[in-house]
Amino acid sequence: MSFSPLIRQLIDALRILPGVGQKTAQRMALQLLERDRSGGLRLAQSLAKAMEGVGYCRQCRTLTEDDLCPQCADPRRDDSLLCVVQSPVDVFAVEQTGFRGRYFVLKGHLSPLDGLGPEAIGIPELLSRVADGAFTEVILATNPTVEGEATAHYIAQMLIPKGLTISRIAHGVPLGGELDLVDGGTLAHALAGRKPISL
């Protein structure tokens, strides 16, 4: 037993961070204690404020402390495009691409075996958001996994009868890297989705 109780508690608490094990937590705790106590206090305050203050956007359901998130509150965005994603972190990823339409955040993906049906992940809210908005196209940007595909397929079935354009983000080979390192399924998608080159 070589750390005092407060230090031990701090090390244990740091281990809830993703990717942080015993050794990393020790290094973090001792570095903060020895080098940056004011930074540690700022982190404590930011954590407490965020854990207590952050809720969900009323319209798109991403994480925010306001009634509307920055994307929903921005009047200059394209109101005809809705991008459906699985989680708040995906909003950030899509935002990085320069997309400037609106968002809707599901709570994960359909997973009937885990008891996650359409209601659990927010499909009814998505349908009423689409009914309320003036969207002409809904882009389904769920993850390219079996569950993400199934979720996209289910949503498309619900929305196509409403006369909207429903699209799915393209599957294909990612930029960079080498073709022989790409898995067979991805390569098959890339071949099937090939496009003519016009010069």
Closer residue to a copy of itself (CB): 100 or 153: 100
- Answer for which of 60, 61, 64, 84 binds a copy of itself (CB under 8 A) is 64
Judged by CB under 8 A, the residue of 60, 84, 91, 130 near a copy of itself is 91
Give the binding range for a copy of itself (CB under 8 A) out of 45-53, 75-83, 164-172, 189-197.
45-53
Q: Is 43 in the site for a copy of itself (CB under 8 A)?
A: yes
143 binds a copy of itself (CB under 8 A): no
**78 belongs to the binding site for a copy of itself (CB under 8 A):** no
Rounded distance between C-alpha atoms, residue 8 and residue 16, angstroms? 14
Could you say whether residue 67 binds a copy of itself (CB under 8 A)? no
31 near a copy of itself, rule: CB under 8 A: yes
Shortest Å distance, C-beta 127 to a copy of itself: 23
Which residues contact a copy of itself (rule: CB under 8 A)?
1-7, 9-10, 12-14, 16-19, 24, 26-34, 36-37, 39-54, 63-66, 69-71, 87-89, 91-92, 95
